[in-house]
Amino acid sequence: MSDVKIHRIANFNKMKKPLIIVGFPGTGLVGSVAASHIVDALGMEFGGYISSPEFAPLAAIHDYKPMPAARIHFSQKHNLVVIISEMTIPVSSSLDVADKLYEFAKSVGASGIISLGGISLQEGKKDVYIVSSDNEMTERAKSKKIAKPIREGATTGVTGVLLTKGTLEKFPITTILAESSQDYLDPKAASTAVKALSKIIGIPIKTTRLDKEAKEISEGIKESVIKARISKKGPSSDESGTMYG
């Protein structure tokens, strides 16, 4: 066992059946970026953190303030708890982290858990997918065209363990996966995941900042690709004989 501990600073028992949102690093860092954005957009309070001897020794810095990389935020107004990690969870800790998150959810009387993440299918459609232990959640997302259900496949890590526990113990656990790049941080995919979540839970969450960052990254990538092509090919001439490069 990796001796994972959840340290509570806030009294979550004052909340009534809160929904728990989980965002951990993965493809395109979608989960952690989306969860961090939700915390900022909804003005959520710091409520605790997660520790383990196996976690990387680092601190996340936000608004000049050092914070635990794996932490808990909450909003009584929106009845939401967000659990975010800005470091990769070691494989050896995944089972213990999932168990502790599940125990935490049950202890605060949570109505369910929704995990956010990225998926790389290399189809370029930027679709959103859903996997859930709650069939009603899946059907609702499908009928409203919010997300597509995944019929066959596999998911690993903390989310995979949580989904299995949810199915076995009949507790609503869902993952929302936005198509994302494997090669770089993808705020566009994070924005897509947040928008899907917003529709599912009925809480407006603005994604203006994420959309702006996505545009800046997209323009930067295009510029880098152009420069790389020019550098590789060298000055070239078109059919009319005009030089460019």
pLDDT tens across 104-157, in order?
Answer: 999 999 999 999 999 987 666 679 999 999 999 999 999 999 999 998 888 889
Cα(161)–Cα(103) distance, integer angstroms: 13
The pLDDT, as a whole number, for residue 10 is 93
Q: Of the given ranges (74-83, 165-174, 225-234), which has the lowest mean pLDDT?
A: 225-234
Long-range contacts of 133-136 (CB under 8 A, 24+ apart): 133/163, 133/166, 133/167, 133/170, 133/171, 133/172, 133/173, 133/174, 134/166, 134/172, 134/173, 134/174
Which domains, ranges and CATH numbers included, belong to the chain?
Answer: 5-205 (3.40.50.10900)
pLDDT tens across 189-199, in order?
Answer: 999 999 999 99
- pLDDT band with cut points at 50, 70 and 90 for residue 168: very high
The mean per-residue pLDDT over the stretch 53-79 comes to 92
Q: What is the pTM of this model?
A: 0.86
Q: Is residue 74 within 8 Å of residue 10, measured between CB atoms?
A: yes
